[in-house]
């Protein structure tokens, strides 16, 4: 049996097993809108932890982090910093979001904005922005999946075909099981990912350099500037590093899918404990960096750094083990992609289409439309994944630049009574427009700092300034936040 057949067999066995778990998760539950989007608001620590880890530790961590360690070096370390600092934001902000979500029966991020600011137009705009910036993150997972299956199968199957097959399965269990299916498949994905990362993170540096210390010594000899800022880049220096860490830390919770995860927890304490436990996952990231650094010298000359991990694994290990690693990587793409698809479809149906075009739609009708949108969202992301060549980490930074613009409207909305709807609305518009313009015109970094962070600072100034000169309308919203703080 050829190496390609062996690897493909193992990969698809893992993918199919994970998909069966996803389908089974929804068997005992009627998938109405509440169950489909927030799992009946009954998730305990284990499911919340796995759900949030499934959305953070994805193909971005598996391939993108090792790819940037290979191609850029020092700037890659921002990933550890932002994930650590971001947990502090989760710990302090998520319980407040949960409290108002429970009180007002919220299911999505735009529900928060509509209730806090009393505007369906603001909510619809937030839904559109969230939908648009989820697409690059979904594209990241699809692109990574294509790389994984293509490389791990020795090009036995093309990337587009691999994407289509795997995401047909993803769309299926999203359609049938909703967020519960995503959480259950995360159990398998995380168990395999921890095993694989520890195995290759320690194993590969030892095989090629007899240890992690000797590996770094060789890199310092061969490429002395690779491990310090700006690494192999020209413009990702200290200002870029600090601004990117702050932007990603503040924006992490603003992803519409992670925001909605706050509503799925059974209580606020679950979210606080999850934020603490999540920091343990940061231990695995240096191991992924070690693989990228090992590949820098062991497989030099790769045109696409995202291929570094799999190129080194394929060179080193037998086909069956390559299949296990490839199948694990495939799940790191499929699990978060499932949640992004679910979230994007729900944003369109519940917070854009219904309020703008069919306000009399029932929740059951919204759920049916959202399920039909699963195919549309998947198709759009597939198109961009097949025809775009953007690196995985940069796709993530594009998404972060967009969704982080919700941060002033959320945090000021929770803690500053004086913020107004025009202030929040104009702030988001200016922030999104600024970030999009700078990134699309290749002005990122801008004056040495992350374009998304520059846009976020401008957003804060606009939000506060406009709120100070526009009429304040009480919403009854703040009292709920104060109740949470007292609890």
pLDDT digits (tens, 9 = 90+) for 359-383: 999 988 988 898 888 888 888 888 8
- Predicted pLDDT at 155: 76
Asked if residue 56 has pLDDT above 50, the reply is yes
pLDDT digits (tens, 9 = 90+) for 268-308: 999 999 888 888 778 888 999 999 999 999 999 998 898 89
Which one is predicted more confidently, 106 or 474? 106
Q: Tell me whether residue 285 is in a domain.
A: yes
Question: What CATH number is attached to the domain comprising 73?
Answer: 1.20.1730.10
Q: Mean per-residue pLDDT for 40-55? A: 71
Asked if residue 169 has pLDDT above 50, the reply is yes
Q: Tell me whether residue 344 is in a domain.
A: yes
Mean per-residue pLDDT over the chain, rounded: 86
Asked if residue 34 has pLDDT above 70, the reply is no
Q: Mean per-residue pLDDT for 165-191? A: 73
- Predicted pLDDT at 257: 85
- Predicted pLDDT at 27: 60
- Predicted pLDDT at 230: 94
Q: How confident is the model at residue 484 (pLDDT cuts 50, 70, 90)?
A: very low
Number of domains in the chain: 1
Q: Tell me whether residue 94 is in a domain.
A: yes
Q: What percent of the chain lies above the pLDDT cut of 90?
A: 45
Q: Tell me whether residue 256 is in a domain.
A: yes
- Predicted pLDDT at 486: 41
- Predicted pLDDT at 408: 97
Cβ(355)–Cβ(112) below 8 Å: no
Q: Tell me whether residue 425 is in a domain.
A: no
- Predicted pLDDT at 460: 97
Which one is predicted more confidently, 136 or 198? 198
Q: Tell me whether residue 26 is in a domain.
A: yes
Q: Tell me whether residue 449 is in a domain.
A: no
pLDDT digits (tens, 9 = 90+) for 4-32: 888 888 988 988 888 788 777 666 656 56
Q: Among the listed ranges 175-184, 239-248, 432-441, which one has the minimum average pLDDT value? A: 175-184
Q: Mean per-residue pLDDT for 439-448? A: 90
Q: How confident is the model at residue 48 (pLDDT cuts 50, 70, 90)?
A: confident
* Distance (Å, whole) CA 21 – CA 238: 44
Domain extent, residue 335, equals: 3-387
Asked if residue 194 has pLDDT above 90, the reply is no
């Amino acid at each position: 049996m050829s190496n390609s057949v062996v690897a493909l067999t193992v990969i698809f066995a893992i993918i199919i097993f994970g998909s069966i778990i996803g389908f089974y998760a929804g068997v005992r539950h009627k998938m109405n809108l509440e169950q489909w989007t927030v799992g009946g608001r009954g998730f305990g620590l284990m499911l919340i932890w796995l759900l949030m880890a499934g959305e953070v530790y994805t193909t971005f961590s598996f391939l993108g982090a090792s790819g940037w360690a290979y191609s850029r070096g020092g700037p890659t370390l921002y990933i550890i910093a932002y994930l650590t600092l971001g947990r502090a934001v989760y710990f302090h902000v998520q319980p407040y979001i949960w409290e108002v979500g429970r009180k007002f029966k919220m299911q999505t991020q735009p529900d928060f904005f509509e209730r806090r600011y009393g505007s369906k137009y603001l909510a619809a705009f937030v839904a559109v922005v969230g939908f648009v910036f989820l697409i690059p993150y979904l594209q990241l997972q699809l692109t990574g999946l294509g790389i994984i299956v293509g490389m791990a199968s020795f090009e036995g199957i093309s990337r587009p075909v691999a994407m289509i097959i795997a995401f047909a399965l993803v769309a299926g269990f999203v359609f049938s099981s909703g967020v519960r299916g995503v959480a259950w498949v995360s159990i398998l994905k995380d168990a395999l990912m921890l095993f694989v990362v520890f195995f290759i993170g320690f194993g590969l540096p030892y095989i090629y350099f007899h240890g992690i210390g000797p590996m770094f010594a060789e890199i310092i000899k061969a490429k002395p500037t690779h491990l310090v800022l700006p690494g192999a880049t020209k413009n990702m220096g200290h200002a870029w590093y600090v601004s990117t860490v702050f932007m990603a830390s503040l924006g992490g919770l603003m992803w519409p899918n992670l925001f909605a995860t706050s509503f799925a927890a059974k209580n606020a304490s679950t979210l606080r404990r999850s934020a603490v436990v999540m920091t343990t996952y940061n231990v695995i990231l240096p191991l992924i960096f070690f693989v990228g650094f090992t590949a820098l010298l062991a497989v030099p000359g790769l045109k696409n750094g995202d291929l570094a991990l799999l190129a080194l694994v394929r060179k080193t290990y037998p086909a069956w083990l390559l299949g296990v690693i490839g199948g694990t990587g495939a799940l790191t793409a499929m699990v978060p992609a499932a949640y992004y698809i679910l979230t994007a479809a729900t944003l369109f149906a519940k917070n854009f289409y219904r309020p703008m075009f069919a306000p009399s739609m029932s929740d059951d009708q919204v759920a049916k439309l959202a399920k039909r949108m699963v195919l549309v969202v998947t198709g759009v992301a597939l198109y961009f994944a097949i025809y775009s060549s953007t690196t995985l980490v940069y796709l993530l930074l594009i998404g972060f630049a967009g969704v982080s613009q919700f941060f002033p409207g959320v945090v000021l909305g929770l803690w500053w009574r004086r913020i107004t709807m025009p202030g929040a609305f104009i702030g988001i518009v200016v922030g999104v427009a600024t970030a999009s313009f700078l990134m699309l015109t290749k002005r990122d970094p801008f004056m040495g700092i992350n374009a998304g962070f520059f846009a976020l600072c401008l957003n804060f100034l606009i939000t506060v300034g406009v709120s100070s000169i526009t009429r304040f309308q009480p919403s009854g919203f703040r009292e709920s936040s104060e109740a949470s703080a007292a609890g």
